[in-house]
Amino acid sequence: MDKKTEDRIRQLREVKAAALKGGGERKIEIQHKKGRMTARERLDYLLDDKSFTEFNMLLCHMDGAPGDGLVSGVGTINGKKVCVYSQDPTVKGGSIGALHGYKMYKTVEQALQMGIPLVGLHDSPGARLPKIKESKTALGDMMEKSGGSIFYPNTQASGAIPQISAILGSCAGISVYSPALTDFIFMVDKTSHMYITGPAMVKSVMGGDISHEELGGAKIHCKISGVADKRFKNEKECLDGIKELLSYLPPNMNEKPPQKAMTDDSERLMDDILDTIPPQSNRPYDMHKIINKIIDGGSFFEIKPEFATEIIVGFARLNNETIGIVANQPMVLAGSLTSNSSDKQARFMRFCDCFNIPIILLVDTPAYMPGAPQERFGIIRHGAKVLYALCEANVPRIAVVLRKSYGGGNLGMGVVSGMGTDLVYYWPTVEVGVLGPNASVELYFGKEIRESNNPEAVRTKKLSEFTEKYSNPMREVSANWGIDDVIEPKETRKILIKGLNFLSSKKRPVRHTKHHGNIPL
């Protein structure tokens, strides 16, 4: 090898060694003092050992900004290929300039072309401040160099490949809109922040002080706004959560979710399941206990567990196959359907439909929450999203009504005939009807009860008679072709497995030709 070649190779190694240190040792130390990993440390933890192939590593290295503040490429997670990028706060604060934005765009585009999931690790204050020039406006310069074009491939990839975002620092402006277009957002408690404008800008425009946590912390977005899907104690737990979520998902819309051997018996009966549910329809119980008895042991990955907790959604395995669970939670608002629960339910079901994930509905609801607050929140519009999602979805779907389903609850949980639910099962303990038995008895017999010599005795008698005659699943299954069977509760798991096996060859129907539907957003 001649000296010139040796010098070039030596130079290459030096440049790459410097690039691996991002903004340098001092800035790396600052990142560590905040309790945060660097961009490369995050990727090292997330990806399988030695699986990462980096793109554009030396971009901007001569300007002292290696990679322009973004580490991007392709690697594997538990053997599955993913495209990834990780914003580097040690290089220009992780701000998004023209080439930084281009690399984000390129990473999403490559994931879409390869048909593999995208994972974005975000730690950026947003668009890089422009330099004012006479030749163009400051706004035009900012838009050109902000990486705003990332929204286009995010939108094209939506429904085609899974897109997962982790917020691992304080992110503002453009840095939160790209994650908002992805399927899932994970945050780290007391470390992650998301907002359109940070506390300083809020103070300058609105007056008053507000902290990063109060404005856009993980607790705010996981419990109140519903923007984020899950929060974790630290970065490693967050990255572990991404790994776990991906284990349930297919790489793209054309493939089925992966199987995983769970060693749980497909014929297992749940002899004690009724011990979990009070016989009185107005008594609460924790639906998580029912879910955990039905699914393959320990496989539930809940989505938005802190937001709109009156409904539970998440991924699980049943007979080693990925399923999506949608279940009312009687412990919260009696399992009523609300504006927020409708958004949560509709979005989750649409994701499942995109990626060939069968949906199991576990129903125990008194219907939509009544009252002025819900009407003013737009429950009609939000509830319509659920109806749209149910009628649009064509993956296998099975509903089991456990204890009660009144009025609009039958619509919102998809157990009304003609809404596309493939199989509907009732437990023998179910109460059904337009109204609950108490409300129905009051409506039909209220005057007679109040005018009787013993109102309480008459009310009890009427309630018993009404429940037995009109709110009885045995009567419903005799008259309603939309109910496929009344089943013994202990056989629920076994029957669901058989039902999914039967539906496994279900074909997606040909729809009316159109550009796309107009969901009531």
Domain boundaries, the chain: 3-246, 273-434+473-502, 437-470
Using the predicted structure, report yes or no on whether residue 451 has a pLDDT greater than 80: no
Q: How far apart are CA 200 and CA 187, in angstroms?
A: 22
| Model pLDDT, residue 60 | 86
Q: How far apart are CA 244 and CA 232, in angstroms?
A: 13
Band (pLDDT 50/70/90 cuts) for residue 310 is: very high
| Model pLDDT, residue 73 | 97
Q: Which helix (H) or strand (E) holds 6?
A: helix 3-19
Residue 63 backbone dihedrals phi, psi, to 5 degrees: -95, 5
Q: Which amino acid, 256?
A: K
CA angle 429/433/439 to nearest 5° reads: 100
Band (pLDDT 50/70/90 cuts) for residue 148 is: low
CA angle 300/176/235 to nearest 5° reads: 50
Which residue would you say has higher pLDDT here, 143 or 260? 260
Residue 267 backbone dihedrals phi, psi, to 5 degrees: -100, 5
Between the ranges 10-24, 301-315, 399-413, 435-449, where is the mean pLDDT highest? 301-315
Q: What percent of the chain has pLDDT over 70?
A: 94
Residues in the chain, how many? 521
> In this structure, are residues 313 and 357 in contact, taking their beta carbons and an 8 Å threshold?
no
| Model pLDDT, residue 142 | 44
For the four alpha carbons of 323, 244, 291 and 306, in that order, the dihedral sign comes to negative
Q: How many CB atoms lie within 10 A of CB 253?
A: 14
Band (pLDDT 50/70/90 cuts) for residue 61 is: confident
Band (pLDDT 50/70/90 cuts) for residue 343 is: very high
Q: How far apart are CA 13 and CA 10, in angstroms?
A: 5
Q: How far apart are CA 382 and CA 372, in angstroms?
A: 15
Catalogue the E-assigned strands of 281-388.
Answer: 301-303, 311-318, 321-328, 359-365
| Model pLDDT, residue 4 | 85
Which residue would you say has higher pLDDT here, 104 or 461? 104
What does the pLDDT look like over 116-129, one tens digit per residue? 999 999 999 988 87
Fold classification of 3-246 (topology level): 2-enoyl-CoA Hydratase; Chain A, domain 1 (3.90.226)
3-class secondary-structure state, position 469: helix
What does the pLDDT look like over 270-289, one tens digit per residue? 999 999 999 888 899 999 99
Write the CATH number of the domain with boundaries 273-434+473-502. Answer: 3.90.226.10
Per CATH, 3-246 and 273-434+473-502 having the same topology is answered yes
Q: How far apart are CA 407 and CA 440, in angstroms?
A: 11
| Model pLDDT, residue 147 | 59
Q: How far apart are CA 102 and CA 46, in angstroms?
A: 23
Band (pLDDT 50/70/90 cuts) for residue 134 is: very low
Q: How far apart are CA 218 and CA 168, in angstroms?
A: 10
3-class secondary-structure state, position 137: coil
Q: How far apart are CA 142 and CA 127, in angstroms?
A: 7
- Summarize the confidence of residues 455-471 as an average pLDDT: 73
Band (pLDDT 50/70/90 cuts) for residue 145 is: very low
Output the six-digit token pair for 434. Answer: 């337009």
Question: Residue by residue, what is the 3-state secondary structure of 392-456?
Answer: HCCCCEEEEEEEEEECHHHHHCCCCCCCCCCEEEECCCCEEECCCHHHHHHHHHHHHHHCCCCHH
CA angle 430/433/436 to nearest 5° reads: 80
Using the predicted structure, report yes or no on whether residue 487 has a pLDDT greater than 90: yes
Q: How far apart are CA 28 and CA 21, in angstroms?
A: 8
Q: How far apart are CA 417 and CA 411, in angstroms?
A: 9
Q: What percent of the chain has pLDDT over 90?
A: 68
What does the pLDDT look like over 160-173, one tens digit per residue? 999 999 999 999 98
Band (pLDDT 50/70/90 cuts) for residue 133 is: low
How confident is the prediction for the chain on average, in pLDDT? Answer: 90
Helix, strand, coil proportions of the chain in percent (round to 5)?
45, 20, 40
Band (pLDDT 50/70/90 cuts) for residue 333 is: very high
> In this structure, are residues 143 and 96 in contact, taking their beta carbons and an 8 Å threshold?
no
Using the predicted structure, report yes or no on whether residue 435 has a pLDDT greater than 80: no
| Model pLDDT, residue 161 | 98
- Summarize the confidence of residues 469-489 as an average pLDDT: 79
**Range scoring the smallest mean pLDDT among 158-172, 190-204, 388-402:** 190-204
- Summarize the confidence of residues 464-491 as an average pLDDT: 79
Using the predicted structure, report yes or no on whether residue 433 has a pLDDT greater than 90: no
Residue 324 backbone dihedrals phi, psi, to 5 degrees: -105, 130
| Model pLDDT, residue 135 | 47
Using the predicted structure, report yes or no on whether residue 479 has a pLDDT greater than 70: no
Please state whether the predicted TM-score (pTM) of the whole model is above 0.85: yes
- Summarize the confidence of residues 492-506 as an average pLDDT: 96
